[in-house]
Amino acid sequence: MSTFQAPKGTYDLTPPRSATFLAVREAIAAPLRDSGYGYIETPGFENVELFARGVGESTDIVTKEMYTLTTKGGDQLALRPEGTASVLRAALEANLHKAGNLPVKLWYSGSYYRYERPQAGRYRHFSQVGAEAIGTEDPVLDAELIILADQAYRSLGLRQFRILLNSLGDKECRPVYREALQTFLRDLDLDEETRRRIEINPLRVLDDKRADVQKQLTDAPKLRDYLCDACKAYHEEVRALLTAAGVVFEDDEKLVRGLDYYTRTTFEFVHDGLGAQSAVGGGGRYDGLSEMIGGPELPSVGWALGVDRTVLALEAEGIELDLPYTTSVYAVPLGEEARRVLFGVVTGLRRAGIAADFAFGGRGLKGAMKSANRSGARYTLVAGERDLAEGVVQLKDMESGEQNAVPLTEVAAELAKRLG
C-alpha cells in the first residue's frame, strides 16, 4: 500500500472533478428549496438503536453494512448508513411536527457509510442529497417528490434514466400478502440464507439478482393482487398525478427496496449507462417509521439521490456541466513593489465581489501567464516598476488578447463594468 492512499472503498474529490460534485448537489437541492423544503443537518453518527429499529434488524444495511463503534464512554454508535431515520429522529426531537404546518418538509446533503464490497459505483463512503416530507398522507406529496427528483435530473441534462414505481401496501394488506408469499417461497429450492430471509423479510427474496432464483419466482403471488382498496386508490392517484405532470414511469412490481420501513409508494431512479449499480436514487413512503423509532403516528414520504452515481451518470451520457470558471481576474506582479500593490488591488476586487487570484511565489512573467491561462480568468492584471511609476496597471482581455493601461484607482470600477 502506498503512503498516500484513501481507505478501501473510498475516494477523494479533487479539482477539477470536485466542481461537478458541488454542482450536482446544488442542482438536486435547487428544486427542493423552491418547493418549501428547509435545510436540515444531523450528526454523521447516531445511536445504533435508531438504525436497528428504523432501517430494520433484518436488512443487509443493519446486519452487514453498518460501521458500528463503542465510544470510550460505552455508547454504541453507528456511522449513518442512510438519512431518513436520522432526519425523522431530529424532527421529532425538535418537535417540528408540533410547530403547526404539516407536512414538515426537509432536505439534506451529506456523507453516508456502508461496509459494502466496493465496485464501480459502490463505495463505503458516498454522498446523498435527500428530501423528507413528514406527517402527511397525501398522494400529491408522493407525486411532488418524484416530480422534483425528475426535475433535478433533467436540469442536469440527464435523459437515460427511468423511474420504477410500485406500491408495497400498508399494515392492512401487506401482512396478508407476506404470508401468501412465504407459503409460496417455502416450497422452492433455495439456499439456507435465502430460506432464513423468507422467514424474516420475504419481500427481499423477490429482489434476489440470481437467475436461478428469479426463474423460480415467475409464478410468485403478486403484491398488486393483494393491495387493499385504499392502497389501490392511493397508488392510482399517484400514478395519475405523475402522468398529468408528464413524468414517465414504469410499473415494477418487483421493486421492494432494501429498507424495511417502506409502505405504499416506493420508487427508484435507475440509469441505463451505469452497469450493475444502476440505481441513482430511490425512496418511498414510510408511514410506520415514526412509531418504529418510538414516535407518534406520522405518515411520511421521502427520497435520497446518490451524488456519486449521478456524477457517473453524467459521465456515462457524456454531459459536461456548464461550470463557470471561478476566477475572473488573475494578477501578475513583476517585482517586489508590484507584488504589494497588486495584492492590494486583488484584495479590493475580492471585497467588491470580483473573483480574483494572484501569481504567488515571485515567478517570471512567462510562468505566471501560464497560470493565468490555466485559471480560466477572463482578465489578467500585469504591473511592473514602470507601470507603477505611471500609476497604471496593464489590463489584458484573455479572450481577445487586447491590452490597455488602466489607472490604478480605476481598475476595480473598470473590471466591475466589463464583467457586468
Count of positions on this chain that bind ligand AMP (CB under 6 A)? 16
271 sits near ligand AMP (criterion: CB under 6 A) = no
**245-306-59-81 Cα dihedral, nearest 10 degrees:** -130
Cross-strand partners of 38: 106
Please name the amino acid found at residue 390: E
Q: Which three cell numbers stand for residue 6?
A: 484513501
Q: Which stretch binds ligand AMP (CB under 6 A): 120-128, 146-154, 317-325, 352-360?
A: 120-128
One symbol per residue from 52 to 91: x for binding ligand AMP (CB under 6 A), - otherwise; what is it? ------------------------------x---------
Are 112 and 62 in contact by the 8 Å Cβ rule? The answer is no
Q: Which CB atom, from 82 or from 387, has the smaller least distance to ligand AMP?
A: 82
- Supply the minimum distance, in Å, between the C-beta of residue 183 and ligand AMP: 29
308 sits near ligand AMP (criterion: CB under 6 A) = yes
**41-47-48-52 Cα dihedral, nearest 10 degrees:** -70
304 sits near ligand AMP (criterion: CB under 6 A) = yes
Please name the amino acid found at residue 3: T
Q: Which CB atom, from 82 or from 357, has the smaller least distance to ligand AMP?
A: 82
Report H helices in 94-228: 139-155, 174-186, 192-200, 211-216
- Supply the minimum distance, in Å, between the C-beta of residue 308 and ligand AMP: 5
123 sits near ligand AMP (criterion: CB under 6 A) = yes
Are 43 and 86 in contact by the 8 Å Cβ rule? The answer is yes
Q: Which CB atom, from 161 or from 330, has the smaller least distance to ligand AMP?
A: 161
- Supply the minimum distance, in Å, between the C-beta of residue 264 and ligand AMP: 16
Torsional class of 100: left (φ above 0), alpha (ψ -120 to 50), beta (otherwise): left
284 sits near ligand AMP (criterion: CB under 6 A) = no
Q: Which CB atom, from 276 or from 323, has the smaller least distance to ligand AMP?
A: 276
267 sits near ligand AMP (criterion: CB under 6 A) = no
313 sits near ligand AMP (criterion: CB under 6 A) = no
Cross-strand partners of 77: 47, 69
306 sits near ligand AMP (criterion: CB under 6 A) = yes
Which positions ≥6 away from 132 have C-beta within 8 Å?
83, 84, 87, 88, 91, 104, 105, 106, 107, 108, 300, 301, 302
**Footprint of ligand AMP on 157-216 (CB under 6 A):** none
349 sits near ligand AMP (criterion: CB under 6 A) = no
Q: What angle in degrees, to the nearest 10, is found between the helix axes of 139-155 and 229-244?
A: 30
Q: Which CB atom, from 197 or from 396, has the smaller least distance to ligand AMP?
A: 197
Contact residues for ligand AMP, defined by CB under 6 A:
82, 114, 116, 122-123, 126, 128, 258, 279-282, 304, 306, 308-309
